Amino acid sequence: MARITFLGLGVMGYPMAGHLVAAGHEVTVWNRSAEKADRWGLAHAGQVKPTPEDAVFGAEYVCMCLGDDPDVEAVFSAFEGNIAAGMVVIDHTTASAGLARQLAARTQARGASFLDAPISGGQAGAEAGTLTIMCGGEQATFDQAHALMSAYGRSLTLIGETGSGQLAKSVNQICIAGTVQGLAEGLHFAREAGLDIDRTIRAISGGAAQSWQMENRWQTMQDGDYDHGFAVDWMRKDLRIALETARETGAATPVAALVDQFYADIQAMGGGRWDTSSLLARLGRKPDC
């Protein structure tokens, strides 16, 4: 059993912290919304603290699952003084590789270890404990934290040095953006051409066009049901990070840049909280179709 602090109880962090309790760990949480933290504490019999620094004191592991670089920087700065030698800090936020490298250096200066470990799998994956976790850091730190992260992750991979996990998450989001846009255009084309969409998807999903998005989202997209976890607002944040890094490295990402603008259109339609499959809505799908 380990003493773990979990900071950030959003749609991902809330169930992730619960899995740690179920695995037998002693878990203390903090969340910006105290009401949500209190609700988690009642549901999981865990400790709730009013500030990040209070929550971190005495922990062996500190997990963060926050929103964006400024959130991570602010929370880390709040508890930095309570980082103790031997502690492991794990950041599950999708943030920039540059910030990961900065925080790793600050953590190591206090005799502790750091992993950037962004996650993929959405709310459903967090609730089921089947997340994919892409890590950057030292092999020894990854090995030490592996059992802990296995409480909510099914696929855990050390990509490379610090920042590599965040870079790999950008690869993940670039691939998702293109795949979902392709699926949205295919469904839109099928509808406009008068095809039986169910039969069409059954025909093509056994071949090279098959994808997780097709298998799990074509029907909900066809139904205009866009309430499946990972919101457009968050996808745009992730793509912003990916596109900024692409500019820094000279990588060409024209499709990701275009789909990012399509997601901006979704936001303008009032769909910022719709899930990422809502790209079909932009193509003129009517609810009664």
Q: Which amino acid is at 152?
A: Y
Please give the C-alpha separations between residue 216 and each of 212, 213, 272, in angstroms, as whole numbers.
Answer: 6, 5, 21
Distance CA 286, CA 289 (A): 5
Query: How far does CA 87 lie from the centroid of its chain?
Result: 23
Q: Check: CB of residue 166 under 8 Å from CB of residue 94.
A: yes
Mark whether 169 is an active-site residue: yes
Q: What is the CA radius of gyration of the chain?
A: 20
Q: Residue 124 carries which DSSP code?
A: H
Q: Which of 36, 49, 169, 237 is catalytic?
A: 169
For 29, phi then psi, to 5°, come to: -125, 155
Q: Check: CB of residue 93 under 8 Å from CB of residue 63.
A: no
Output helix, strand, coil percentages for the chain, rounded to the nearest 5: 55, 15, 30
Distance CA 45, CA 248 (A): 46
User: For residue 249, how many other CB atoms are within 10 A of its CB?
Assistant: 9
- Tell me the two tokens of residue 120: 């993929």
- Identify any residues that bridge with 131 across adjacent strands, giving them in sequence order: 153
Active-site amino acid positions: 169
